[in-house]
Structure 1
Amino acid sequence: MSAQPKAPLRLALADDQMLVRAGLRALLERLGLHIVFEADDGQALLDGLAQSPVDVVLSDIRMPGLDGIDALTKLRERGDRTPVLLLTTFDDSDLLLRAAEAGAQGFLLKDAAPEDLREAIVRVAAGETLLQPVSTEPVRARYRYHADDAPRALFTEREVSVLRLMAGGYSNKEIARAMFLAEGTVKNYVSVILEKLDTRDRTRAVLKAITLRVI
């Protein structure tokens, strides 16, 4: 008798920005993980977990109202030990300490590579703790450069339009059709966008563009 295939890990995804959630959902599903529900703040996350238990919670730290760490604190207070992996834009020793004290199993930068994100989720689901500080000065420098130099000015109106469609999960062919452009032209736009955002893939480009308020 053949072994039964292993069921995909079940996740709850919390972030106040809908486009970030959409990008993360697409990425995680490509990595073979299952999103049970999404939440746009800490309270919605708590309400969802009360109805739909999951294997791992993936939550942004900075959210309006009840943020990721406050939601985690309340989750632990009610006796829920679901592993929580917190996401943030920059490493921050104070946030790391607060996350650990609140009962987080993991703390990861949003700039992490997809394979690192998947590995972190699998490891916290297995009971490991991933709260080691990460050296991210190159990441800080990239974000600071774009932020200090008014990111919007670095992108043309057409590039921003392409970025918005990328955020919606459109392929180059679909973007070309929507914008009445040749597919090769769209490919060139995407290459320029990735270069300007100093990223190698579309998902991280969209996440960084949202973080920098380009879109």
Structure 2
Amino acid sequence: MSVSSVLIVDDHELFRRGLIAAMDHASDRPIDWLEAASLQEAMAVLRGRDGVSLVVLDLKLPDTTGFGALASLRQAFPDQRILVISASTDDIIHAQVVALGAWGFAGKTSTSETFRSLFHTALTSDARPASGSVEPLHVRAARRQPVGYAHLQRLGDRHMHILELLLEGRSNQEIVTETGLALGTVKNYVSAVLLCFEARSRAHLLSLFR
């Protein structure tokens, strides 16, 4: 019987051991469990091993911030299947990790049964898990034409909302009406989004997502 190898990346040893204990019988095949407490440790493990079946990645690590760990792993190992776990279950977080190329996402507050089912699917199926939320426009666009999604880790929730509105073709005044922000504040957010994607204009930004 083939053996699956699973790398748990989390800086809390107790959580790693608890997850291993809970998931050890979720697969119908033996599992070779690997552990890392930081992004650099995870990189070293993946460089030293061929064919790691699954990486279970916590977004919050001591040597990176935001979505940096996921973006770095995707860049270094583009074919690696990654299941992201996070203490946050916010839909925006979910959408961003999907946009950055994660196979799936689970909140740390998920029940053992829910996570066990997701874990089993991650090891045995090529299908992505179904999402109960509506995908933001920039995520739907990503499925047609990938762009530099490492940029997304630099955007906050408000910036993501402004990006959504820009991709819908909203004017600054329409964004003011939608968000309740002052016109000057909206202009600052729009400039920050354009700068993030190195876009010369709104038209250029739109072209990146077509």
TM superposition score normalised by structure 2: 0.54
Q: Which runs of 5+ in 2 are unaligned?
A: 134-210
Among residues 50, 57, 60, which one is paired with 2:58 in the alignment? 60
Q: Following TM superposition, by how much is the alpha carbon of 1:105 offset from its aligned partner in structure 2, in angstroms?
A: 0.8
Distance verdict in 2 for CA 1:68–1:121, change over 3 Å: farther
Structure 2 partner of 1:39:
36
Percentage identity across aligned positions?
22
Distance verdict in 2 for CA 1:91–1:48, change over 3 Å: same
Are 1:51 and 2:48 matched, yes or no? yes
Distance verdict in 2 for CA 1:115–1:45, change over 3 Å: same
Tell me which amino acid in the other structure corresponds to 1:24.
L
* Structure 1 stretches of at least 4 aligned residues deviating more than 4 Å after TM superposition: none
Structure 2 partner of 1:89:
87
Q: Following TM superposition, by how much is the alpha carbon of 1:124 offset from its aligned partner in structure 2, in angstroms?
A: 2.7
Q: Following TM superposition, by how much is the alpha carbon of 1:22 offset from its aligned partner in structure 2, in angstroms?
A: 1.2
Tell me which amino acid in the other structure corresponds to 1:132.
S
Structure 2 partner of 1:123:
121
Distance verdict in 2 for CA 1:46–1:28, change over 3 Å: same
Distance verdict in 2 for CA 1:9–1:118, change over 3 Å: farther
Q: CA RMSD in A?
A: 2.2
| Structure 1 CA distance for aligned equivalents of residues 62 and 5 of structure 2 | 25
Q: Following TM superposition, by how much is the alpha carbon of 1:63 offset from its aligned partner in structure 2, in angstroms?
A: 1.7
TM superposition score normalised by structure 1: 0.53
Tell me which amino acid in the other structure corresponds to 1:48.
V
Question: How many residues are matched?
Answer: 129
SS at structure 1 position matched to 2:24: helix
Q: Following TM superposition, by how much is the alpha carbon of 1:68 offset from its aligned partner in structure 2, in angstroms?
A: 7.8
| Structure 1 CA distance for aligned equivalents of residues 112 and 66 of structure 2 | 21
Are 1:20 and 2:18 matched, yes or no? no
